[in-house]
């Protein structure tokens, strides 16, 4: 067999997901020759299996749930209301197709930008070379953007039962009658919302005392109540001890705190126990990269992991969000190009990172919680306002929630903001922009806001 000729480029981007594609296009814009290595679908997990399909599924579930529970209150009644899972999934696939173009649109854009795509898995063979199957690729700089993978906890029997991951859950042909979801982070909470709103008996087991442990404790507690309100059973401080097959069902043995061990029989079990950087098999040590005691890449503020190697996205283990990956991909590309031109690197900023958990209502945050601000030695003021007092919330019948903003006592600058509300993911960006620009809280809150909108929560919290 004839051996494929070696390829030589300026920058190789390993991974064709959110971070990798952002990096590739950014680097190509600056006139360097770029190659992307990817073994799965272009676009990565967010548009194909995660963010996009789950939001399409949540939209359908919310519509069904609203019609069943609240339709009559609004004067809308429907007889024989049913959930057509096949049609739900068909629409989800159509949404994914519109956004991704089935991968063809992205491939065309890469071709038009002069970016070569090599299919396969990359392995470093030296500081300036990688191999992809039989092919050798040489580059002056590399950007590693290989994403992350599901973490499977060491539960007795986990390898012997058919547990679902989020990829499995977005591809179901039929819904189970009952499900246990293990993990109380954003993924677990969003899927618990989906299954419960579809009428599936749903239990969410999480290891800590607080659901959504990275969020403000007060609002996370309110979010837990809202999940219970849509019939999600919550089991905090829970250790899942074993999983056993029992016919077509699964027997889950667990212990909550110091309580007696219990078992529950369900049709399905889903793991939502977090993700780990996807760096296995890359042989990054051959490029000069090092790892900490937990196996995470050591990375500096310029996203450099070795003299010629940069990293971006979930593989870094930092803030595993698509928008962070996009931002980091651009910065990694800039720094890779700057290294070729012997220019000083830019630094990554992670002080203003808005993020949203798409439960009902949405929980959106940016910056520090009150606890984090106090731990950092800040003297703080806290402003609160109940969402239910807003005119728009009354009109929509969506009165659950709270807005909370954390201020530096001396300067009036915004340290963090947290909102549990319908459309919270949109509203939070006004506060994020203010933080990004270094604006004072009273400058933002004194601006006129349209009535009736959820954005009025900002001046309302001014008092």
**Residues that constitute the known binding site for FAD:** 55, 146-148, 314
Distance of CA 149 to the CA centre of its chain: 13
φ, ψ of residue 289 in degrees (nearest 5)? -75, 155
Q: Which helix (H) or strand (E) holds 256?
A: strand 249-256
Please check whether residue 297 is in contact with residue 168, taking contact to mean a CB–CB distance below 8 angstroms. no
- 343 three-class SS: coil
Cα dihedral sign for 413, 415, 418, 423?
A: positive
Say if residue 437 is exposed, middle or buried (CB neighbours under 10 Å; 0-12, 13-18, 19+). Answer: exposed
SS3 338: helix
**Binding annotation:** 55, 146-148, 183-190, 274, 314
Binding residues for NAD(+): 183-190, 274
- Of the CA atoms within 13 Å of residue 309, those in its CB half-sphere come to 26
47 by Cβ neighbours in 10 Å (0-12 / 13-18 / 19+) ranks as buried
CA 160 to CA 108: how far, in whole Å? 43
User: Quick check: 192 and 202 in contact, CB under 8 A?
Assistant: yes
- Using DSSP, state whether 329 is helix, strand or coil: helix
Tokens of 207: 């290891």
The pair of structure tokens assigned to 152 is: 């499977």
| Cβ contact 284:124 at 8 Å | yes
């Amino acid at each position: 067999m004839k051996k494929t000729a070696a390829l030589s480029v300026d920058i190789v981007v390993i991974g064709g997901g959110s971070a990798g594609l952002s990096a590739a296009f950014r680097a190509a814009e600056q006139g360097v020759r770029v190659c992307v290595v990817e073994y799965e679908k272009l676009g990565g997990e967010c548009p194909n299996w995660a963010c996009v399909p789950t939001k399409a599924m949540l939209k359908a579930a919310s519509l069904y749930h609203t019609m069943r529970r609240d339709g009559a209150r609004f004067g809308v009644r429907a007889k024989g209301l049913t959930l057509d899972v096949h049609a739900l999934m068909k629409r989800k696939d159509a949404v994914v197709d519109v956004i991704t173009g089935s991968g063809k649109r992205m491939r065309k854009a890469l071709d038009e930008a002069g970016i070569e795509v090599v299919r396969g898995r990359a392995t470093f063979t030296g500081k300036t070379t990688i191999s992809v199957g039989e092919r050798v690729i040489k580059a002056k700089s590399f950007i590693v953007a290989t994403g992350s993978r599901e973490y499977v906890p060491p539960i007795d029997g986990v390898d012997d039962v058919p547990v679902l991951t989020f990829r499995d859950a977005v591809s179901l042909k039929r819904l189970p009658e009952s499900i246990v979801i293990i993990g109380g982070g954003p993924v677990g909470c969003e899927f618990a919302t989906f299954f419960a709103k579809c009428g599936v008996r749903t239990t969410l087991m999480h290891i800590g005392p607080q659901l959504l442990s990275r969020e403000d404790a007060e609002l996370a507690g309110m979010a837990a109540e809202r999940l219970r309100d849509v019939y999600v059973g919550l089991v905090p401080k829970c250790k899942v001890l074993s999983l056993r097959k029992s016919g077509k069902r699964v027997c889950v043995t667990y212990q909550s705190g110091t309580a007696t061990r219990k078992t529950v029989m369900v049709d399905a079990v889903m793991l939502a126990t977090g993700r780990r950087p996807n760096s296995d098999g890359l042989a990054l040590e051959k490029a000069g990269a090092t790892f900490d005691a937990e196996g995470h890449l050591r990375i500096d503020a310029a996203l450099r992991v070795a003299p010629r190697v940069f990293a971006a996205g979930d593989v870094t283990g930092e803030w595993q969000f698509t928008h962070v990956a996009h931002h980091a991909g651009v910065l990694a590309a800039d720094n890779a190009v700057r290294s070729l031109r012997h220019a000083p690197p830019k630094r990554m900023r992670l002080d203003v990172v808005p993020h949203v958990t798409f439960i009902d209502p949405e929980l959106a945050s940016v910056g520090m919680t009150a606890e984090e601000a106090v731990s950092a030695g800040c003297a703080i003021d806290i402003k609160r306002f109940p969402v239910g007092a807003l005119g728009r919330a009354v009109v929509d019948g969506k009165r659950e929630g709270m807005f909370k903003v954390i201020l530096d006592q001396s300067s009036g600058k915004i340290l963090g903001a947290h909102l549990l509300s319908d459309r919270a993911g949109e509203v939070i960006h006004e506060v994020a922009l203010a933080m990004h620009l270094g604006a004072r809280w009273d400058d933002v809150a004194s601006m006129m806001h349209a009535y009736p909108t959820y954005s009025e929560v900002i001046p309302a919290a001014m008092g």
